[in-house]
Amino acid sequence: MNKDWTKDLEHDEYEDDIDLIIKDAIEAVDITRPGFYVNLVTSSHFGNPVDYLQPLLEELYKENISMKFIDQCGCGGYVLRVWKKEN
């Protein structure tokens, strides 16, 4: 993606499938071009993504990304913003 964007990992098949959330979150970060961010909106069912998703992304991408927990949505989901750094 050559723009800032949001990936909805909160509803339907994501509500009860943490493995799918993780898989599609990694794919979303992969396709985000350097210099842009993706908001990962995750299901409230698994709690704050800072606890389970952020450590995994930090391990996979190391210094190539930065992250910030944005907020818990009114609907219960969580937003984790992931920036791809320019090389």
HSE of 28, CA atoms in CB hemisphere, 13 A: 25
Is residue 23 situated within a structural domain?
yes
**Predicted model pTM:** 0.93
79 with 40: CB under 8 angstroms? yes
Q: Write out the residue range of the structural domain in which residue 51 sits.
A: 1-40+47-64
Q: Is residue 72 one of the residues assigned to a domain?
A: no
User: Is residue 46 within 8 Å of residue 52, measured between CB atoms?
Assistant: yes
Q: Is residue 73 part of a domain?
A: no
Domain count, the chain: 1
Q: Is residue 81 in a domain?
A: no
26-78: per-residue pLDDT in tens?
999 999 999 999 999 999 899 999 999 999 999 999 999 999 999 887 777 89
